[in-house]
């Protein structure tokens, strides 16, 4: 018995883009968390049984930050919290990104951008950071202080018109290892890009979760090889992931 769910307090919360919120929480979870891990956020409403998995965006001493999009009722309620309000959380959960000191390409798509901030702060090598948005930008200034940022927007309002892949195709970005978090089609394209360029890629996956700790087998993703825990071709995103070597997972 070493872990427990905790009632932490909101330090502050702000809306940083349309429907996107940034919340700092006072918690000791921050002191052991590594980039790429997530927390389970429990909604203060018994009709909402399941925890919401949210990536750790950034940590400080005894505090961590999450950046999230209002996607439904749970995140809507979270967005209403103010300084001092209690928030029930569990973590840190999942494995996190393996850190390398080589030149890295960090790729974040939409609400997959937040975990890239703590990663960018932890990586010591040269960093090319490629960010994809629908339209409105967020976190790009903070990421720009960690490396060279390129932006793509679907509506062409900033940077390259299109997706992160359109930035990569221009050939202006290079590195020896890729880290990526974003929607599945993006991860699929990143995996292909990594295979074509023969560089390792670490991708952070998303799946519907129930327990968040590896017990219910709700959150699996297909693996290319038989998993030693399950003895079948799948892995638990919450426990064995959310970060996987792109070669380990079958994204088809």
Partner 1 sequence: MNTNVTIAGVTFQNPVMTASGTFASGLEYSEFVDLNRLGAVVTKGVASVPWPGNPTPRVAETYGGMLNAIGLQNPGVDVFLERDLPYLKQFDTRVIVNVCGHSLEEYLDVVNKLADADVDMLEINVSCPNVREGGIAFGQDPKALFTVTEAVKKAAAQPVIMKLSPNVTDIKEMARAAEEAGADAISLINTFTAMKIDIDKRRFVLANKTGGLSGPAIKPIAVRMVYEAAHAVKIPVIGMGGIATAEDAIEFIMAGATAVAVGAMNFHDPAVTIKVAEGIEAFMQSRNIPDLDSIRGCV
Ligand X SMILES: Cc1cc2nc3c(=O)[nH]c(=O)nc-3n(C[C@H](O)[C@H](O)[C@H](O)COP(=O)(O)OP(=O)(O)OC[C@H]3O[C@@H](n4cnc5c(N)ncnc54)[C@H](O)[C@@H]3O)c2cc1C
Ligand Y SMILES: Cc1cc2nc3c(=O)[nH]c(=O)nc-3n(C[C@H](O)[C@H](O)[C@H](O)COP(=O)(O)O)c2cc1C
Interacting residues with partner 1 (CB under 8 A) = 1-5, 42, 46-51, 90, 207-221, 229-234, 239
E-strand stretches of 134-182 = 148-153, 160-161, 177-181
The least distance separating ligand Y from the CB of residue 235, rounded to whole angstroms, comes to 17
Closest separation in Å from C-beta 45 to ligand Y? 18
Count the neighbouring beta carbons within 10 Å of the beta carbon of residue 49: 9
Number of H helices, E strands in the chain: 5, 16
The CA distance from 116 to 130, in Å, is 10
**DSSP letter, residue 188:** H
114 binds, among ligand X, partner 1, ligand FES, none (CB under 5 to 8 A by kind): ligand X
- Please give the residue ranges that form the binding site for ligand FES (CB under 6 A): 209-212, 214-219, 236, 238-239
Nearer to partner 1, 11 or 213 (CB): 213
Measured from the CB atom, is 46 or 170 closer to partner 1?
A: 46
Please, which residues have CB within 8 angstroms of residue 176's CB and are 6 or more apart in sequence?
A: 100, 102, 103, 104, 199
Choice between 90 and 203, CB closer to partner 1: 90
Among partner 1, ligand X, ligand Y, none, what does residue 4 contact (CB within 5–8 Å per kind)?
Answer: partner 1
Q: Which two tokens stand for residue 103?
A: 């030149």
Which one of ligand FES, ligand Y, ligand X, none is in contact with 84 (Cβ closer than 5 to 8 A by kind)? none
- Return the residue matching tokens 């702060």: 121
111 binds, among ligand X, partner 1, ligand Y, none (CB under 5 to 8 A by kind): ligand X
Closest CA to 230 of 217, 241, 243: 217
- Kindly give the residue spans of alpha helices, DSSP state H, lying in 7-111: 73-78
120's tokens: 């960018």
CB of 97 to ligand X, least distance (A): 12
5 binds, among ligand Y, partner 1, ligand X, none (CB under 5 to 8 A by kind): partner 1
| φ, ψ of residue 83 in degrees (nearest 5) | -50, 135
Least distance to ligand X from the beta carbon of 196, Å? Answer: 27
CB of 50 to partner 1, least distance (A): 5
| Shortest CB 146 distance to ligand FES, Å | 30
3-state secondary structure of 220: strand
Residues that bind ligand X (CB under 6 A): 38, 50, 52-55, 66, 68-69, 71-75, 111, 114, 206-209, 242
Tokens (6 digits) for 39: 């927390």
């Amino acid at each position: 018995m070493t872990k427990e769910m905790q009632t932490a307090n909101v330090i502050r919360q702000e809306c940083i883009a349309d429907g996107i919120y940034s919340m700092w929480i006072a918690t000791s979870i921050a002191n052991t968390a590594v980039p790429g891990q997530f927390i389970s956020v429990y909604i203060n409403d018994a009709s909402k049984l399941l925890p919401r998995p949210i990536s750790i965006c950034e940590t400080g001493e005894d505090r961590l930050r999450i950046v999230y999009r209002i996607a439904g009722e749970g995140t809507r309620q979270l967005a209403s919290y103010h300084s001092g309000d209690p928030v029930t959380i569990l973590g840190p959960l999942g494995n996190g990104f393996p850190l390398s000191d080589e030149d890295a390409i960090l790729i974040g798509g939409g609400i997959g951008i937040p975990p890239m901030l703590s990663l960018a702060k932890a990586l010591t090598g040269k960093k090319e950071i490629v960010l994809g948005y629908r339209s409105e930008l967020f976190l790009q200034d903070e990421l720009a202080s960690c490396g060279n940022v390129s932006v793509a927007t679907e509506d062409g309002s900033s940077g390259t018109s299109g997706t992160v892949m359109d930035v990569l195709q221009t050939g202006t970005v290079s590195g020896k290892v890729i880290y990526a978090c974003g929607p599945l089609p993006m991860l699929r394209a990143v995996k292909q890009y990594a295979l074509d360029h023969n560089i390792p890629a670490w991708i952070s996956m998303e799946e519907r979760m129930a327990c968040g700790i590896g017990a219910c087998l709700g959150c699996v993703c297909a693996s290319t090889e038989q998993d030693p825990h399950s003895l079948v071709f799948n892995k638990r995103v919450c426990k064995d992931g959310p970060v996987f070597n792109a070669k380990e997972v079958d994204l088809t």
